[in-house]
A and B are shown apart, each in its own frame.
Chain A
Amino acid sequence: MRAPLSTTIAIGAGTLTLLGFFIPVEALTSVRSLLIEWAVLLAGVAGLVAIAHLLSVHWRKMTASRNRNVTSAFLLIAFGITFAAGMVLKPGHPTMQKVVTHIQVPIEASLMGVLAISLTVAAIRLFQRRGGWMSVLFAVSAFVFLIIGSGFLSSSANIPVLKDLLAAVNALPVAGARGILIGIALGSLTTGLRVLLGTDRPYSG
């Protein structure tokens, strides 16, 4: 068996957690709670490892002898300043919160705004390449829900059947979304069971 220790840990921890979820025994729920707390801690450490790896990659890109990426220096400098300030001020400091609200928010929100333009262009070109009935249905659906989402029809309460019509139209994506949700849940179930049975070992890479 490949990675026996890791597999044992995964199966054991997963089984105990699952038993604690379905069997309300104090011992099991305590173990479950303890394992989940460990998992939260390890998730935090894993986040730090991921950040460290990101920095190492950009450091290599910046110091590479060939194809040097100078812009990586901006990333490292920005990280260094933010990290140093954060360690000194702590994340709850107003200055650190302004780092988020006045730097991250403008950048990310502006990117989302640019996405609006890009998506509009994509919507305009929906019929340029594909003309299948699924594409037509998708485009019609998007168009209808754009109109509904604009609230333009919602302000016309005087139209007799409009309310029922909107309710019926709004019910259509619910059915599809429910199918998708159940499908995702079934997928999660099978994937989780495969991990617990040791069939999938994504941790042994």
Chain B
Amino acid sequence: MSEIICPYCGSSNDIDALTCLSCKKPLYDDVEVPDNSPQQDGMDWLNTFRGFDTETNASSSTAEPGGESTDAEPEIPEWLARIRALKGDEVPPLEEEEPLPPEEIPSLLDQDADLPDWIKEIKASDAPQSSEENNEDFPDWLKDLSDEENPTPEPEVAVGSGMVLPDIPDDLSVDEGAELNFDSQSEGTGPLEPVSLPTDTGELPDEFFHDVITGQTQSAEEVGQPDLNWLIERADSNFPQDEPTAQPLDELDGQSLPTLEQPEPAPSAAETEPGESTELPEWMFESGEPAGNETVEPTEIDFAPVEDNLAGTSSQDLITAPQEAELPDWLLEDEAAPPAQSPEYLPEAPSDIETGQMPGWLHAMRPVEAAAPNLVASKEESRIEASGPLAGYQGVLPGQGVVTHYSKPPVYSARMQVTDKQRIYATLFETLIADETRVGAPAAAKTKSSQLVMRLVVGLVMLVALVAILILQPGFAAFPTLVPPESVAFYDSVQTLTSAATPPRVLVGLDYDPSLSGELRTISTSVVEDWMAGNSGLAFISISPTGPALVSELVNAAAAQNPGYLTAERVINLGYLPGGASALAALAINPTRAAPTTMDGLPAWESLLLQGMTAVADFDAILLLTDNAENSRAWVEQVKPAAGDTPLLVISSAQVAPALQPYIQSGQISGMVSGFTGGAAYEQLTQSVNGPVRRYWDAYQGGMLLIAALMLIGAAAFGIKKFVRRPK
């Protein structure tokens, strides 16, 4: 057989070994050696209570001191009763509670070929650590507990109680346990639970440990002397003969093993982690001959009775919760006394130790899966292949059982490692979330629906009111008599220019979007009509892409009121200038180069209207139609300085009027008409009877007042609502 040399101590190890038999160090870099320190042991096995403590609680909490295990019979949970009912008859289909990751499951082939490492390590193990050594590794609170329970440390080496129970690795599931020949009855196997070997025990409350410890101590007292022949036989047959065995138990005399390690029941030999075997007590090896170095042939292991022994158990079931206060019945009912358990080595279990009591909160925390374990667990794992190349091997085709069995799917949540504190936090968080979703979702929906309703109501009210006013034209709104000064200035400029002897030439910057074309076209129409009435030449230019198309709409609307105006001669469309402020700067520097052609592609500055003009200042006026504050500012900043004394007149949307007011006050804008109000003022100044603004004036004023009224109502309603709610 191949062998591998330990890189640390140089000793020879089996090719399948992961750790060195001699120095216990990993043979490979990526292999983690199980931490066998007593502290870890003590912590981890306690952790196994979390989540599946309830079954054991039934026996441990009700067991009377000194009582027999049978006293707890009425407390046996249902699943255990079912196991007992099935004893020796029919093996219930086992369902794997939680499939271990493939990398954690040692190959059965390997197991058949060689003994597991933990067994190999048994032969190389030293004497069990003394309690002092163990205590050194325990945290202080555990030491305190230990001291409280055993003020005077006494050797409590007993079956199931004297061992330092190690971590039980995941790979020691039913398969490895099944390799052991359990001659004794499987009936009465204590409540066993899936074991997930947590490493964090810091979250468990102290009272929990206290209960566990006391209960386990009690169990040691109750157990009596279970049958450990199977262990002895195993030691006889499998362990190397010449291997220095563990320290004789009598050498431990005077040494006290920590109480914490005692409660682990004996059958957990099947559960013990390989590395933990080094701490098996000497009695396990007393009757065995020293084994040689050669490994044990797998054929020496009797697989035959495995299924019977494991009836009703799963891989997790094999691992007894250390909280259990009594040994399994199959150990108790065995007639043979444990040979290694001589009376003098029996622990002097203190009789005054209180019975372990499972706290109520812990009882309530048991997972449902723990109360109703899936007994259909690992039958497929214990099946021995009868044919094919894998004949004789056990559980190599676990999928077959999964396929053929009709059982509940495995519940993985039972293995979730959740500490008590985490569980409490999770519950608290869940409550918070539940409250949030319960309260928030309807509130959000209510808010959304109320907004929709309000929007519908407001929209319908406005639409109905405006349509009614537009159709009926009630004429309730009077035209403004108080005219803003900028509108007066605008009007004066237009009148001055149009009344001049020479028809003015006006550069019109059409800079509004289609969205507000309704407002601006309505306002501008009257103004453009006046310009046309004065036979003004209008050169339109736009820095908005849709501007050139809107020019024709405006010109056509204004020209309709001036049939004698020669639009083709007096109006020119210079088109679109891209680039915003840059385009306006180019226009201000040299309009002939900035806009050389008309929309039709004709040379603009050779036309009769623009002939001889080379600068913006050559125009008699600049009229800006705008709905954009940014572009308006660009016109003022770029074009107005180049225009000199040429007045800059603005027709603006109501939305930019406040932003342009400073330019009016500073004189950079000579006059402005803004919004329907400005348009109405202009029409009032021009004494226009049928102006476009007048047509909309009722609807506009009515709509504005309606909005103001709705705003007032809203403010009052929400103000009252807040005032009423405030006392709460």
Do A and B come into direct contact in the complex, CB within 8 Å? yes
B478 interface residue, CB < 8 Å from A? Answer: yes
> Which of B62-70, B308-316, B499-507, B673-681 lies at the interface with chain A?
B673-681
The answer to whether A40 touches B482 (Cβ under 8 A) is no
Contact flags (1/0) for B533-574 with A, using CB distance below 8 Å?
000000000000010111011000000000000000000010
* Alpha-carbon separation in the docked complex, A39 to B118 (Å): 82
Closest to A175 in B: B662
A100 interface residue, CB < 8 Å from B? Answer: yes
> Which of A67-75, A147-155, A193-201 lies at the interface with chain B?
A147-155
B411 interface residue, CB < 8 Å from A? Answer: no
What's the minimum C-beta distance from B120 to chain A, rounded to whole angstroms? Answer: 56
Within 8 A of A (CB), among B574-605: 575, 577-580, 582-583, 585-586, 589-590, 593-594, 598-601
What's the minimum C-beta distance from A188 to chain B, rounded to whole angstroms? Answer: 9
Selected from B583, B601, B708, the residue in CB contact (under 8 A) with A150 is B708
Contact flags (1/0) for B503-538 with A, using CB distance below 8 Å?
000000000011111100000000000000000000
Which residues of chain B have C-beta atoms less than 8 A from A101's C-beta? 514, 549-550, 552-553
What's the minimum C-beta distance from A199 to chain B, rounded to whole angstroms? Answer: 21
Which residues of chain A have C-beta atoms less than 8 A from B610's C-beta? none
Within 8 A of A (CB), among B457-505: 458-459, 462, 477-484
* Alpha-carbon separation in the docked complex, A15 to B16 (Å): 79
The answer to whether A109 and B704 touch (CB under 8 A), given A92-B573, A178-B662, is no
B413 interface residue, CB < 8 Å from A? Answer: no
A174 interface residue, CB < 8 Å from B? Answer: yes
The answer to whether A109 and B701 touch (CB under 8 A), given A91-B548, A117-B462, is no
Which residues of chain A have C-beta atoms less than 8 A from B577's C-beta? 40
Contact flags (1/0) for A114-128 with B, using CB distance below 8 Å?
001110110111111
The answer to whether B515 touches A108 (Cβ under 8 A) is yes
The answer to whether A33 touches B573 (Cβ under 8 A) is no
> Which of B134-142, B357-365, B414-422, B714-722 lies at the interface with chain A?
B714-722
The answer to whether B458 touches A151 (Cβ under 8 A) is no
The answer to whether A100 touches B549 (Cβ under 8 A) is yes
Contact flags (1/0) for B421-462 with A, using CB distance below 8 Å?
000000000000000000000000000000100110011001
* Alpha-carbon separation in the docked complex, A120 to B458 (Å): 8
B659 interface residue, CB < 8 Å from A? Answer: yes
Which residues of chain B have C-beta atoms less than 8 A from A52's C-beta? none
Closest to B704 in A: A150
* Alpha-carbon separation in the docked complex, A177 to B480 (Å): 25
Which residues of chain B have C-beta atoms less than 8 A from A97's C-beta? 548-549, 552-553
The answer to whether A157 and B585 touch (CB under 8 A), given A96-B549, A100-B549, is no
Closest to A118 in B: B455
The answer to whether B661 touches A40 (Cβ under 8 A) is no
* Alpha-carbon separation in the docked complex, A105 to B521 (Å): 12
Within 8 A of A (CB), among B235-268: none
Which residues of chain A have C-beta atoms less than 8 A from B718's C-beta? 125, 127-128
Contact flags (1/0) for B666-690 with A, using CB distance below 8 Å?
0000000001110011000000000
The answer to whether A127 and B714 touch (CB under 8 A), given A100-B550, A150-B708, is yes
Which residues of chain A have C-beta atoms less than 8 A from B710's C-beta? 120, 123-124
Within 8 A of B (CB), among A65-120: 90-92, 94, 96-97, 99-101, 104-105, 107-109, 111-112, 116-118, 120
B700 interface residue, CB < 8 Å from A? Answer: yes
The answer to whether A143 and B546 touch (CB under 8 A), given A105-B517, A126-B715, A155-B479, is no
The answer to whether A109 and B481 touch (CB under 8 A), given A120-B710, A127-B718, is no
Selected from B578, B593, B658, B675, the residue in CB contact (under 8 A) with A44 is B578
The answer to whether A92 and B719 touch (CB under 8 A), given A109-B517, A149-B675, is no
B15 interface residue, CB < 8 Å from A? Answer: no
Selected from B515, B583, B658, the residue in CB contact (under 8 A) with A109 is B515
Contact flags (1/0) for B10-47 with A, using CB distance below 8 Å?
00000000000000000000000000000000000000
Which residues of chain A have C-beta atoms less than 8 A from B676's C-beta? 151
Selected from A43, A131, A143, the residue in CB contact (under 8 A) with B722 is A131
B705 interface residue, CB < 8 Å from A? Answer: yes
* Alpha-carbon separation in the docked complex, A174 to B672 (Å): 14
Which residues of chain B have C-beta atoms less than 8 A from A104's C-beta? 514, 546
Selected from A37, A90, A156, A180, the residue in CB contact (under 8 A) with B601 is A90
Closest to B590 in A: A33
The answer to whether A157 touches B599 (Cβ under 8 A) is no
A187 interface residue, CB < 8 Å from B? Answer: no
Contact flags (1/0) for A143-176 with B, using CB distance below 8 Å?
1001101111111110000110010001001100
A142 interface residue, CB < 8 Å from B? Answer: yes
* Alpha-carbon separation in the docked complex, A108 to B658 (Å): 23
The answer to whether B701 touches A174 (Cβ under 8 A) is no
B665 interface residue, CB < 8 Å from A? Answer: yes
* Alpha-carbon separation in the docked complex, A147 to B480 (Å): 13
* Alpha-carbon separation in the docked complex, A97 to B484 (Å): 35
B109 interface residue, CB < 8 Å from A? Answer: no
Selected from B454, B479, B582, B583, the residue in CB contact (under 8 A) with A121 is B454
* Alpha-carbon separation in the docked complex, A47 to B583 (Å): 14
* Alpha-carbon separation in the docked complex, A128 to B577 (Å): 45
What's the minimum C-beta distance from A100 to chain B, rounded to whole angstroms? Answer: 4
- The 5 A-B residue pairs with the shortest CB-CB distance, nearest first, are A124-B714, A154-B480, A150-B704, A43-B579, A100-B549
Task: List residues of B whose CB falls within 8 A of some A CB.
Answer: 451, 454-455, 458-459, 462, 477-484, 513-518, 546, 548-550, 552-553, 573, 575, 577-580, 582-583, 585-586, 589-590, 593-594, 598-601, 633, 654, 658-659, 661-663, 665, 675-677, 680-681, 697, 700-701, 703-705, 707-708, 710-715, 718-719, 722
A-B contacts besides A96-B549, A151-B677, 19 pairs, CB < 8 Å: A36-B585, A100-B549, A101-B514, A101-B550, A104-B546, A112-B516, A123-B707, A123-B711, A124-B713, A125-B718, A150-B700, A150-B704, A154-B681, A155-B482, A162-B482, A170-B484, A173-B658, A174-B662, A181-B662
